[in-house]
C-alpha cells in the first residue's frame, strides 16, 4: 500500500518514544517516598486509561461521521478503535487494581474513575458482541455507530453520578495545576505521548488489515464471476 512508509515512520517514532519512557520510568524518575516502587505502575496506568478514553472518543467521532457520510471506512475506524479501547481499559483496570492493593489496601473500590471505566468496558464489550450477531454489513455499521454515540455521551453522566455518590481516587489535575513533582510530571507526559503514539500505530495497522481484507473479498468475487 502507498502509505506504508508513513506507517513505518510512525512505528519507528513510537519505538524511540517507548525506549525513552522505559528509561524515564525505570532509571530516571525517583522512587516515590510513601508508596515505594509500586508507584511506578502509575506511568503505565494513567496512559492506558487515557488511551482507552481517547479510543472511545475516536469511535464516537467516527460513528457520527459514518451516519453523516455512509462511508464503510468510517465504520472500520470506529469498530477497530473500540477494540483497542477495550484492550487499554482492561490494562488500566488491571494495573489500577494491582496498585490499589498495596496503597488503598483493597483490590477494588467504587470510585468514579474506576466505576466509569468498568461501566464503559462492559458497554463496549457488549457492543462488539452485538456487532458479531448482525450479518448484514450495512445494518451492523449503522447500529454500532448509534451505540458508540450513545455510549460516549453517557461517560460524563456516569462520572458525575458516581462522584455524587463517593470518591477516594487521587485528583492529579486540579485548578491550580499539576499536583506532581517535576521529574515525575515529565515521565508521565512522555509516557502519555508514547501510549498515544502506540494507539495510533495499532489503529492504523488494524484499519489497514480491514482494508486488505475488503480488497481480498473484492478480488475473490471478481475471480468467481470471471470463471
Partner 1 sequence: MSTWRTVIAIVAKDVASELRSKETLSTLLIFALLIMVVFNFAFELRVENVRQIAPGVLWVAFTFSGILSLNRSFVVEREEGCIEGLRLTPVDRGAIYLGKFVGNTLFMLAAEVCILPLFAVLFDVSVLNPTLWLIVVLGTVGFAAVGTLFAAMTVNTRAREAMLPLLLFPITVPVLIAATKATGQILDGQPFAEISAWLRLLVAFDAIFTVIAWLGFEYVLEE
Of the candidates 154, 151, 155, 127, the residue with the CA atom closest to the CA atom of residue 141: 127
- Please report, as residue ranges, which positions from 67 to 96 form the binding site for partner 1 (by CB under 8 A): 67
Cβ–Cβ under 8 Å, residues 192 and 25: no
- Please report, as residue ranges, which positions from 176 to 205 form the binding site for partner 1 (by CB under 8 A): none
Min dist. Cβ of residue 47 to partner 1 (A)? 24
Q: Which residue has the cell 455521551?
A: 153
* Phi/psi at 174 (5° precision): -100, 180
Nearer Cβ to partner 1 (162/203): 162
* Phi/psi at 36 (5° precision): 80, -155
For residue 63, the cross-strand partners are: none
Q: Is 64 in the site for partner 1 (CB under 8 A)?
A: no
Q: Which residue has the cell 509500586?
A: 38
Single out the residue of 106, 165, 168, 179 in contact with partner 1 (rule: CB under 8 A): 165
Q: Is 154 in the site for partner 1 (CB under 8 A)?
A: yes
* 12-20, 36-44, 100-108, 154-162 -> range binding partner 1 (CB under 8 A): 154-162
Q: Give the binding-site size for partner 1 (rule: CB under 8 A).
A: 31
Nearer Cβ to partner 1 (160/219): 160
Sequence-distant (6+) residues with CB within 8 A of 66 are 74, 75, 78, 141, 142, 145
Q: Is 18 in the site for partner 1 (CB under 8 A)?
A: no
Enter the DSSP assignment of 98: H
Q: Is 127 in the site for partner 1 (CB under 8 A)?
A: yes
For residues 124 and 185, give the distance between their C-alpha atoms in angstroms, rounded to a whole number: 31
* Phi/psi at 108 (5° precision): -145, 145
Enter the DSSP assignment of 106: S
* 12-20, 52-60, 87-95, 126-134 -> range binding partner 1 (CB under 8 A): 126-134
Q: Which three cell numbers stand for residue 15?
A: 519505538
Single out the residue of 37, 133, 224, 226 in contact with partner 1 (rule: CB under 8 A): 133
Nearer Cβ to partner 1 (4/138): 138
Q: Is 143 in the site for partner 1 (CB under 8 A)?
A: yes
Q: State which H helix or E strand residue 178 sits in.
A: strand 177-178
Min dist. Cβ of residue 82 to partner 1 (A)? 13
* 17-25, 28-36, 117-125, 214-222 -> range binding partner 1 (CB under 8 A): 117-125
Query: Which residues contact partner 1 (rule: CB under 8 A)?
Result: 67, 115, 119-120, 122-123, 126-127, 129-130, 133-135, 139, 142-143, 145-147, 149-151, 153-154, 157-158, 160-162, 164-165
Amino acid at each position: 500500500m502507498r502509505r506504508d512508509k508513513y506507517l513505518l515512520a510512525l512505528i519507528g517514532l513510537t519505538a524511540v518514544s517507548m525506549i525513552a519512557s522505559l528509561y524515564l520510568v525505570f532509571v530516571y524518575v525517583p522512587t516515590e517516598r510513601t508508596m515505594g516502587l509500586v508507584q511506578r505502575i502509575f506511568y503505565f496506568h494513567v496512559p492506558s486509561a487515557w488511551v482507552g478514553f481517547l479510543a472511545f472518543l475516536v469511535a464516537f467521532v467516527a460513528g457520527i461521521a459514518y451516519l453523516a457520510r455512509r462511508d464503510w471506512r468510517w465504520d472500520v475506524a470506529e469498530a477497530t478503535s473500540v477494540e483497542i479501547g477495550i484492550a487499554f481499559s482492561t490494562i488500566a483496570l488491571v494495573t489500577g487494581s494491582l496498585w490499589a492493593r498495596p496503597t488503598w489496601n483493597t483490590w477494588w473500590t467504587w470510585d468514579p474513575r474506576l466505576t466509569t471505566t468498568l461501566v464503559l468496558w462492559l458497554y463496549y464489550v457488549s457492543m462488539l458482541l452485538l456487532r458479531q450477531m448482525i450479518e448484514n454489513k450495512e445494518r451492523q455499521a449503522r447500529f454500532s455507530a448509534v451505540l458508540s454515540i450513545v455510549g460516549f455521551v453517557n461517560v460524563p453522566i456516569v462520572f458525575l453520578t458516581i462522584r455524587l455518590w463517593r470518591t477516594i481516587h487521587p485528583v492529579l489535575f486540579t485548578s491550580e495545576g499539576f499536583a506532581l513533582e517535576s521529574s515525575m510530571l515529565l515521565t508521565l507526559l512522555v509516557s502519555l505521548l508514547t501510549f498515544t503514539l502506540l494507539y495510533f500505530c495499532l489503529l492504523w495497522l488494524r484499519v489497514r488489515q480491514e482494508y486488505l481484507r475488503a480488497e481480498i473479498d473484492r478480488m475473490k468475487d471478481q475471480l468467481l464471476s470471471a470463471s
